[in-house]
Homo-oligomer: A and B are copies of this chain.
Amino acid sequence: MAGTFIIAQGGGPTAVINQTVVGAVLEIRKNHPGARVLGSRHGVRGVRDGDYVDLTDMREDQLRLIGRTPSAALGSTRDKPDAAYCELVLKGLQKIGADAFIYIGGNDTSGTQQILTDAAGGKIAFVHAPKTIDNDLVENDHTPGFISAAEFVAGAFLSVDLDFRALPGIYVGIVMGRHAGFLTAASAAWRLDGDSGPHLVYVPERAFSVDRFIDDVKATMAKHKRCIVAVSEGVSTADGRSLVETIVGSDKVERDAHGNVKLSGSDLNRAFEQALAERLPGKRARVDALGYMPRGYIGAVSPVDAQEAFDAGAFAAGVAAEGGGSVALQYDGKKTVFRKVPLSSVAAKTRHMPDDYLRKDTNDLSDAGLAYLHRLVPAKYQVGKPFV
């Protein structure tokens, strides 16, 4: 097909999501001479509103520079279209004469593409290209964006652990992740030895208890003279409520338009600070959220991640020519391979950490969990062992 290809980016940016745009554009230009390639600004919102940037003739060196730049160069959106919104998007696509719509995002994006597919009646190819630092898409071994984010987190905890060897105390680092603990688990990827932090890793896949946490910290301090903790912002208590909601109260907690509890405020920091101050008084303690750094810090863009994100875009162009679907990064036992899977198989599902990636007895990764991380995020820096 020559035709018109629309590309958009949705959800939280990543360090390499622009590579996927560039991979798709270059593949389309190669395989479909004469095709028009438009980037929609701010995801489906740009399609709805007819707000495009024309990528058809943009110079390749310019495109490749955009590819190397973190965050979503086309802009992104948090809009999760319902049926009425999807109808407006479909009208927008029809108006511009689209033959294919490649939407780069997480499981919500795949869901949007499924709704659009059903509504369009086969006239437009809808493609979902994966991205998410949360690494929580089913059908995927891992997702573009995760490796760079994981490298940042691994480097951050390696660095903080070195810092706390020099000046001992308790450190709690809060890492993005509402439902899946992969990114928090990455904190353990670059531990130097048995004394290295993080000593405790709390993920949403395991119920969190403040009592247990305090006991864990005490035991770690006794053993290592310092305690480095990695915790997902989305950890939940045994009743299934998020820790933030449990602490702040269900009636007082902030929620977004979709009813999701807002995890990003300082409530969680404060809760950890207070628990440590009250129950381990006199101990030096610091609680920090890593915030947005993992998803787009310009100094931690992984070349492997960048290449995979680019290849995912190129593969998405092929899926568009085949009528649509979701692009999945799978592992064949030796390398990452790209496969087309049905949109519905990814939509509205969340991939959690496999149970055997976590230890049964302690809040830590199992050997299987560490093996997975070491395959994706092998050690990057040589480090000298401190004298303390």
Contacts and interface: CB of A to CB of B under 8 A. Distances in A.
A76 interface: yes
A382 B299 contact: no
Contacts of A73: 166, 384, 386-388
Which residue, of A70, A159, A300, A386, has the highest number of chain B Cβ atoms within 10 A? Answer: A159
Interface string A176-210: 00000000000000000000000000000000000
Nearest to A388: B75
- Copies of this chain, whole number: 2
Interface residues of A, number: 64
B75 A159 contact: no
A383 interface: yes
B293 A159 contact: yes
A13 B166 CA distance: 7
Contacts of A81: none
Interface in A138-175: 151-152, 155-156, 158-160, 162-163, 165-167, 171
Which residue, of A39, A75, A289, A387, has the highest number of chain B Cβ atoms within 10 A? Answer: A387
Given A159-B70, A384-B66, A299 B75 contact: no
Given A13-B166, A163-B296, A292-B159, A39 B382 contact: no
A55 B188 CA distance: 31
A250 to B, nearest CB: 19
Which residue, of A65, A75, A163, has the highest number of chain B Cβ atoms within 10 A? Answer: A163
A41 B291 contact: no
A299 B152 contact: yes
A41 B39 CA distance: 57
A135 interface: no
* Closest A-B pairs by Cβ, 6 of them: A75-B388, A288-B291, A66-B384, A71-B162, A65-B384, A72-B166
10 contacts: A12-B167, A42-B166, A65-B384, A69-B384, A71-B159, A73-B387, A155-B297, A163-B296, A264-B286, A298-B383
